[in-house]
Amino acid sequence: MDVLRNKARDLLAQGQVQVVIGYEAGTGGARRPSFVRSEADVARLVWDADCVGNLAGYLTRAEIKKMGKIAVVANAATLRALLQLTAEHQLAEGAVSALVVTEEGAVLELSNAQAVTEHVATLPASLSAADREKLDQLMALSREERRAFWEQELQRCIKCYACRSSCPMCYCGSCTMDCNRPQWVPVASHEMGNLEYHTVRAMHLAGRCVECGECGRACPVGIPIHLLTCYAEESVRRQFGQPAGTSATLNYALGTFRPDDQETFIR
Amino acid sequence: MSRLGVFVCHCGENIGATVDVTEVAERCKHMPGVAHAEDYKYLCSNPGQNKIKQAIEEHQLDGVVVAACSPRMHEPTFRRAVTDAGLNAYMCEVANLREHCSWVHEKADSTTEKAIDLVRLQVEKVKRNKPLDTIQVPITRSALVIGGGIAGIQAALDIADSGHKVIMVERSPALGGHMAQLSETFPTLDCSQCILTPRMVDVSRHPNITLLTYSEVEHVEGFIGNFKVAIRKRARMVDEDLCTGCGECLQKCPTKNVADSFNEGLSMRRAIYVPFAQAVPNIPVIDTENCRKFQGKKCDRCAKACPTKAIKFDQKDQIINVEVGAIVVATGYQVMGTERFPEYGYGTYPDVITGLQFERYASASGPTQGVIKRPSDGKEPETVVFLACSGSRDAAKGVKYCSKICCMYTAKHAMLLKHKNHHAKAYVFYMDIRSAGKNYDEFVRRAIEEDGVKYIRGRVSRIYEEDGKLIVKGADTLLGGEPVEIKADMVVLASAALPNHGQGELAQKLHVGTDPYGFVAEAHPKLRPVETTSAGIFLAGACQSPRDIPETVGQASAAAAKVTALLSRSHLAREPLVAEVNRKPAPQFSDCTGCLLCETACPYQAIGHEEIKDRNGNVLKTVAKINPGLCQGCGTCVSLCRTKAIDLHGYSNEQIFAEIMSL
Amino acid sequence: MRIGYYPGCSLTSSAREYDESVRAVCEVLDLTLVEIPDWNCCGASSAHVASEELALSLRARNLALAEAAGLDEILAPCAACFSRLASASVELADNPQKCQAVSEVVGMPYSGGVKVLNMLAVLERFKDEIAAKTDQSFRHKVACYYGCLLVRPTKVAQFDRVEDPQSMDQIMAAAGAKPVRWSSKTECCGTGLSTITRTELVANLSGRIVADAAKREAVAIVTACPMCQTNLDMRRPEINQKLQEEHRIPVLYVTQALGLAMGIDPQRLGLHRNMVPVELPEPEPEVVTTDDDDED
Amino acid sequence: MADEAFEPKITAFVCNWCTYAGADLTGTSRLKYQSNIRIIRLPCTGRVDFMLIQKAFARGSDGVIVSGCHPNDCHYTSGNYHARRRWMVFNDLMEFMGLDMRRVTFSWVSAAEGAKWATLVNEVTDHLRELGPYTEYQRLLNAGVA
Amino acid sequence: MSSISHHDRQTTSLANKIQEVTGVALQNCYQCGKCAAGCPVAGDMEMPSCQVLRLLQYESPDYDRRVLESESIWLCLSCDTCHSRCPQTINTPKVMYFLREEAVRQGLAHPKSKDAQAFHKAFLGSVARHGRLHEIGMLMNYKVRTGHLFQDMTLGSKLYQKGKLELLPHGVKDKAAVKKLFKRTTGNKE
């Protein structure tokens, strides 16, 4: 942890970055994001197994971008988000340095896309084992059971859009949900509208989701909403082999095609 | 509130017999936004169209739905009609009551109900239509012709004769292509060079043609009417302006052992050379791979010999940038080499040659001045076997397709052999004789009946050498597959015609499609045979698939006609049904996030980006930009856009949403 | 180095000299042959006639035995055995389900991992050693004869030049021999079932090969197939009768020819078992070539 | 069990150049099919936003057909390839969410396949009649605000 | 010659069976004759391979029978030359194998095939008994089956002199395994 703090101190002292985004202790042992802008504050930074949140969501915020050059404490999903955001022209190449704490406790500074790409290639999938298990369990159910499951879950949605706000890839200034000419999806929280909203979000994240699970953690009513986007991402990976967040150059599965894409359902 | 007019057509009995047309018109009157509705026997007739025009004026309509036959039939008719009455053409939509309703369903209430629904769909759509103007794209009124064979020559001359500038790019040092290599041409047996040379000279002298030989297309961007092309003009090491073509340099070059590609390797040339005597332009080129000077040795004999000091060893490749409105691809073909035939000796038997090599032997300008000789010992062969379909129609080791030209040139070869040496024996192994064409079959019959060429129906299994002869082992399928063995002095393979080398890379540069074999694909096999899949790029000759001279010339003229038609206008009018990225007031500027995921999805490379700047030139936002000149209106980007920032004129989100909601 | 060894039935009787010479040459090349324990007949062309399944099972049993003995590559010098075993190996390698089924019939597990090599494929790996173990005095013109089973079907044999194979020529050249260029390399000698039932056809087909080799002035035909050797050698009286000529050109197994080049005792190479006596003339004189510089 | 009087409501999204023209050919060939279907004409299957399918169901369709040019025949060269990829993901995701994908038919019908269109529409109509009204979806529409 | 009305397609034509069993699609043959041209025994056949395939393409009972009764199908050497050179990659040797089996099954095999059948029987008999081929035993058996008792007599004694014939069989040790294998795949013990 000291290595991380020292690294942050060095970066700030030498003026290489103006803000270090990391984790600090929150209430009840939870971790919350920390924006460290002076050497004096580096002591707030912590790093442990509880630092699971994806801090990449802050990188595209105008108020954060204004602070100057950024270093972000990154886990696997953060790194993938960093690449995907760069590929989608939301982050300038080299605008953000990633600080990665290795298993041995060392701190790597990945200051360009190539370094991040190479590091990501060495990491296992970012989907957690628990989520993997949940996905498999759902897949093992019958269609009817799956429908019932999601109907149960989604009817609790209050359409607070916390999932959208927490998602590093939901950076769009004007979301389809807010479009009113035409009004694609009803504004009010309503079973049909909820279903439509979450379908749209999953479709829009297929081939873009970095599987951080942030949306699921953000949901105030505890819907495992990240399973939808994670499944969509997995569907893309399985069918087209073009996973999100593995390269800083655009390789969007739904923006490309192969003439021999194989499906079984088109008549 | 809209003031729409709905016009329901009976189409005689065609709609009227199964749909209650009057009922449809009556119900439409009550639809919100509909100000007028009526039915009529034949709306597409003149009186019918007049009814629409009158109603527009009378009821001050701002939109029209015509419920009649398929829009694919009469949409242009009705759009013209509403224009005459002062409405924008795109304020008119057609509901398909005939093909999609009355003709496919029985007479029933449900059929009439469906007809009403179909009208309602269009009513809801038209309410959200916006007046659109055709897009005017300026046209650069000049053309690029790629390839200087007979296809390119014909296309270039036709375009230039119609008064447009042409830039012609040829990869080799001289014009002429494969046709310049041929001896006589079927079915008339006139000398190929005699008919071609004047055309080559015409090209070089034409005031509207800029000829760039020894040059290749490096890069292409832009779109129909507005292509920007970078051409690499390779260094000849000879100054084209100074050179008089006297040929002194050629005599002095000490390197004499370079295989002469114009003679298909049957003779040797020097390191500085002109491909053939009648070459246009008659300017030598130094082959730097074989020139002593460029291989680090001391030699400047050619430079010393040159009376005008035209030899420039320090010449460099030049990049020439041109702008053209249209491109003709005329890059020709190549033939499959003998090394690709395992059972015919992998190219190790010198006396197994290709048809193109035979042409050089038969040509008066060839290595033997037109005497048919064989490569191994220079003797005149007595028995020559010709193998049609060598590599063609051979799914296992060659190509699946028929090379089309071989049947005719094989008959010609056999005939030429007999004409030049009356005692010679000519055998042709064939599978089918494909001689459709004017005077073609007569030509083949003449070879058989008058010149005594023996045709044997069957493929040859193997060729091997024995006692200085080539043993050709075939079978005669007309004798039930009886094995036939011929001791030949020479074997000529009518080897398959393949896409030219470099064809694939060029197609990529041009963004034109290719077929599975690598030939350039036409836009439509029947109705658009000289257009490629990219607008403004046309094709001519064997780059599309193997073809003979008459067909090539006809096609080249057709391509030229297409080009001329395009270049005859200063602007290109295009349907305004294109996609557009929306704009909004600051600080949003647009719903577009600038993620540019749409860029790769566009089949036409029409999507780029633009920077929105403040007065001081600071970039405020980067958003996608769709080039309306390139966009064809498929809408793939529209459905990909997460923020709905892109919309498609004519099929907008609002229009389709309203259609769905009307059901 | 060690490799699995499948002699096959012929090499234990009518082609015994092939077996003897293979063993002798491999000893010189330091290649240890590990005979597959308790191998059985590959079924040749006859098993097919009874049943496809029988044919595959007979072959698979040998592969399974090899696998059990820890051999991942086996040498089958007999071209017929090679062809049958290799096609079974290829068929099973592509198809785990078939592997499973055939394992059951054979009563032994087989996972599909054994590779079958013919004599030429093995010798090709030892070209340098062959050159080193010979004094290059075996400068005889030889006609390398491959026959059908070594080169076809192409999927099993995997020769690069099916119509004009080169490997045996290169192996013999490495030993100092001068392979002739000829066109009967892969012509059929007439084996198949006609070996015994239609001898007149064999004489006809084999005759063409013998005559061609003689015409190209080869002093020996070199082969890697017992069927071919038997037809060209044992059937020589019929061939000569058919051709009305007296051809005395011997037919050597590739290992016999290499053995001679290596100076191995002819007795150990089984030369006395050849029907046409192996009497090679004096080798060609050594030709010293000078490089002409044709700079003008 | 399907209600006897039940007639499914079917919305079709088709491309202008192949399936729309194919359906025209069905008409000119005077082949008959059931009249439950309403065709919405789009330039290309590439234009078919998955939200259109959603909205059709939300509007009460019991089934949806999406149809365009066969692979390699797209008027816009590759719009259908892009569409196919989206359908592959959409189809998969819908299955995961437990939605009844038997109610969505994706197909390739060329301008020459008038007969195929008639058969397709009849089969889909019969199938949907068997499946009955899409209550499990339409119920959501009437469900209260959470 | 059979009249064209006999050429009505049958549902169980040989061509159909061939496609089913061997996977070879005979309709792909376009009669170029390259197989016959390279076949070492085409000259000795009453109908070369391409004609065999042509007759089968008709799918007529008369022509199917003509093929099954022919000697040609027994002359194929399986040298694979035709297959390796066929522009349509038709596996003619495989077809010939099938045709022989079918001819035997239908009792239509050419009289001259008797020798070949006897040879295979003798061969397999030897392998079934010993696990390996005992050449001399097999030859004796074959000669008894065919009556060609004195053919190749001198050759046999020469072979023996050269040490090339073993009087006693060297079989596999695990004879039970081989016997079982035969039983499971052919249903008989021989």
Which residue of D88, D99, D141 is in closest CB contact with A192? D141
Could you tell me if residue B253 is inside a domain?
yes
pLDDT tens, residue by residue, B182-240: 999 999 999 999 999 999 999 999 999 999 999 999 999 888 899 999 999 999 999 99
Domain C2-119 classified CATH 1.20.1050.140? Answer: yes
Q: How many domains does chain B have?
A: 5
Same domain (yes/no): B635, B591: yes
d(CA C80, CA C152): 11
Mean pLDDT across the stretch A199-226?
Answer: 96
Same domain (yes/no): B68, B33: yes
Contact criterion met (CB < 8 Å) for D47 and B104:
no
Q: The domain spanning residue B540 has which CATH number?
A: 3.50.50.60
pLDDT reported for residue A76: 92
Same domain (yes/no): B557, B600: no
Q: Whole-structure pTM over 0.80, yes or no?
A: no
Give the confidence band of E149 by pLDDT, cuts at 50, 70, 90.
Answer: low
The answer, yes or no, to whether residue E150 has pLDDT greater than 70, is: no
pLDDT tens, residue by residue, D113-124: 999 999 999 999
Decide: E46 and E55 in contact? Cβ < 8 Å: no
Q: How many domains does chain D have?
A: 1
Which residue of D31, D32, D48 is in closest CB contact with B106? D32
Residue B345 in contact with partner chain E when CB distance is under 8 A = no
Percent of chain B with pLDDT over 90: 93
pLDDT tens, residue by residue, B456-470: 999 999 999 998 999
The answer, yes or no, to whether residue C19 has pLDDT greater than 90, is: yes
Could you tell me if residue B239 is inside a domain?
no
Contact criterion met (CB < 8 Å) for B657 and A176:
no
**Residue B128 burial (CB count, 10 A):** 18
Q: Which domains does chain E have, with CATH numbers?
A: 4-105 (1.10.1060.10), 113-186 (no CATH)
Per DSSP, B379 falls in state: P
Q: Write out the residue range of the structural domain in which residue B366 sits.
A: 335-498
Q: The domain spanning residue D87 has which CATH number?
A: 3.40.50
Residue A262 in contact with partner chain B when CB distance is under 8 A = no
d(CA D52, CA D39): 13
d(CA B138, CA B249): 48
Q: Distance from E72 to chain B by nearest Cα, in Å?
A: 13
Residue D47 CB partners (closer than 8 Å, separation 6+): B634, B635, B636, B638, B639, B648, B651, D15, D79
The answer, yes or no, to whether residue B446 has pLDDT greater than 60, is: yes
The answer, yes or no, to whether residue C296 has pLDDT greater than 50, is: no
Q: Distance from B577 to chain C by nearest Cα, in Å?
A: 53
Q: Cα Rg for chain C, rounded, in angstroms?
A: 20
pLDDT reported for residue E153: 65
Same domain (yes/no): B485, B356: yes
B370-387 burial code (b ≥16 CB/10 A, e <16): bebbbbeeeebbebbbbb
Could you tell me if residue D2 is inside a domain?
no
Could you tell me if residue D49 is inside a domain?
yes
Chain D positions in Cβ-Cβ contact with residue B603 (cut-off 8 Å): 74, 76-79
Could you tell me if residue D4 is inside a domain?
no
Could you tell me if residue B227 is inside a domain?
yes
d(CA B493, CA B362): 15
The answer, yes or no, to whether residue E8 has pLDDT greater than 90, is: no
pLDDT reported for residue C292: 47
Give the domain ranges of chain C: 2-119, 134-273
pLDDT tens, residue by residue, C232-280: 998 899 899 999 999 999 999 999 999 999 999 999 999 999 999 999 9
Give the confidence band of B561 by pLDDT, cuts at 50, 70, 90.
Answer: very high
Q: Distance from B582 to chain A by nearest Cα, in Å?
A: 12
Give the closest residue to E49 by CA, choosing from B343, C153, B483: B483
- Neighbors of chain B by Cβ distance (3+ pairs < 8 Å): A, C, D, E
Same domain (yes/no): B13, B118: yes
Give the confidence band of C192 by pLDDT, cuts at 50, 70, 90.
Answer: low
Same domain (yes/no): B325, B342: no
pLDDT reported for residue B180: 97
d(CA C269, CA C259): 7
Could you tell me if residue B573 is inside a domain?
no
Percent of chain E with pLDDT over 70: 87
d(CA B150, CA B330): 9
pLDDT reported for residue E7: 47
Structure tokens at B323: 């702008």
Q: Distance from D28 to chain A by nearest Cα, in Å?
A: 23
pLDDT reported for residue A74: 94
pLDDT tens, residue by residue, E25-58: 999 999 999 999 999 999 999 999 999 999 999 9
pLDDT tens, residue by residue, B493-535: 999 999 999 999 999 889 888 888 999 989 878 888 999 978 8
Contact criterion met (CB < 8 Å) for D55 and B661:
yes
Q: Which residue of B has its CA nearest to D86?
A: B640
Give the confidence band of A181 by pLDDT, cuts at 50, 70, 90.
Answer: confident
Average pLDDT over chain E, rounded to an integer: 85
Longest dimension (CA), chain E: 63
Residue D2 in contact with partner chain A when CB distance is under 8 A = no
Q: Which residue of C has its CA nearest to B465?
A: C183
Could you tell me if residue D18 is inside a domain?
yes
Residue B197 CB partners (closer than 8 Å, separation 6+): B278, B280
Could you tell me if residue D122 is inside a domain?
yes
Residue B639 in contact with partner chain A when CB distance is under 8 A = no
Same domain (yes/no): B301, B431: no
Same domain (yes/no): B59, B96: yes
The answer, yes or no, to whether residue B471 has pLDDT greater than 60, is: yes
pLDDT tens, residue by residue, C195-241: 446 778 888 899 999 999 999 999 999 999 999 999 999 889 989 99
Could you tell me if residue B134 is inside a domain?
no
Q: Compute the residue count for chain E.
A: 190
Give the closest residue to D55 by CA, choosing from A201, A151, B658: B658
Give the confidence band of C125 by pLDDT, cuts at 50, 70, 90.
Answer: very high
Same domain (yes/no): B385, B494: yes
pLDDT reported for residue E187: 66
Residue E88 in contact with partner chain B when CB distance is under 8 A = yes
Q: Which of B330-334, E106-110, E137-141 has the lowest mean pLDDT?
A: E137-141
Q: Which residue of A has its CA nearest to B656?
A: A182
Chain B positions in Cβ-Cβ contact with residue E80 (cut-off 8 Å): none
pLDDT tens, residue by residue, B75-133: 999 999 999 999 999 999 999 999 999 999 999 999 999 999 999 999 999 999 999 99
- The dihedral through the CA atoms of B176, B182, B186, B189 has a sign that is positive
Provide the β-strand partners of residue A36: A20
Decide: A36 and A22 in contact? Cβ < 8 Å: yes
- The dihedral through the CA atoms of E96, E102, E108, E110 has a sign that is positive
Residue A221 in contact with partner chain B when CB distance is under 8 A = no
Same domain (yes/no): B509, B486: no
The answer, yes or no, to whether residue C70 has pLDDT greater than 70, is: yes
The answer, yes or no, to whether residue E189 has pLDDT greater than 50, is: no
Q: Write out the residue range of the structural domain in which residue D18 sits.
A: 10-142
Q: 3-state SS string over chain A? A: CHHHHHHHHHHHHCCCCCEEEEEEECHHHCEEEEEECCHHHHHHCECCCCCCCCHHHHCCCHHHHCCCCEEEECCHHHHHHHHHHHHCCCCCCCCEEEEEECCCCCEEEECCHHHHHHHHHHCCCCCCHHHHHHHHHHHHCCHHHHHHHHHHHHCCCCCCCHHHHHCCCCCCCCCHHHCECCECCCCCCEHHHHHHHHHHHHHHHCCCCCCCCHHHHHCCCCCCCHHHHHHHHHHHHHHHCCCCCCCCCCCCHHHCCCCCCCCCCCC
Which residue of D35, D43, D50 is in closest CB contact with B111? D35
Residue E114 in contact with partner chain B when CB distance is under 8 A = no
B residues 562-591 near A, CB within 8 Å? 588, 591
Q: Cα Rg for chain A, rounded, in angstroms?
A: 19
Of the segments B543-557, C78-92, C106-120, D126-140, which one has the largest average pLDDT value? B543-557
Mean pLDDT across the stretch A20-39?
Answer: 91
Question: What amino acid occupies position B354?
Answer: T
Mean pLDDT across the stretch B69-76?
Answer: 93
Decide: A164 and A170 in contact? Cβ < 8 Å: yes
Domain C134-273 carries which CATH code? Answer: 3.40.50.11810
Which residue of C54, C188, C192 is in closest CB contact with E185? C54
pLDDT tens, residue by residue, B378-435: 999 999 999 999 999 999 999 999 999 999 999 999 999 999 999 999 999 999 999 9
Average pLDDT over chain D, rounded to an integer: 92
pLDDT reported for residue E102: 92
Q: Compute the residue count for chain A.
A: 267
d(CA B279, CA B289): 21
- DSSP for B169-215, please give it: E-SSSSS-GGGGG-SEETTTTEEHHHHHHHHHHHHHH-TTEEEE-SE
Mean pLDDT across the stretch B253-259?
Answer: 96
- Side-chain half-sphere exposure of B197, counting CA atoms within 13 A: 14
Same domain (yes/no): B324, B176: yes
pLDDT reported for residue D145: 46
Average pLDDT over chain A, rounded to an integer: 93
Give the confidence band of A244 by pLDDT, cuts at 50, 70, 90.
Answer: very high
Could you tell me if residue B135 is inside a domain?
no
Same domain (yes/no): B587, B470: no
Q: Which residue of B has its CA nearest to E86?
A: B396
Percent of chain A with pLDDT over 90: 81
B residues 585-614 near E, CB within 8 Å? none
Percent of chain C with pLDDT over 90: 68
Q: Which residue of D has its CA nearest to A138?
A: D96
User: Pick from B92, B127, B162: which residue ends a domain?
Assistant: B127
Q: Distance from E132 to chain C by nearest Cα, in Å?
A: 5
Contact criterion met (CB < 8 Å) for B461 and E38:
yes
Give the closest residue to D140 by CA, choosing from A191, A100, B518: A191
Residue D77 in contact with partner chain A when CB distance is under 8 A = no
Could you tell me if residue B16 is inside a domain?
yes
Contact criterion met (CB < 8 Å) for A173 and B658:
no
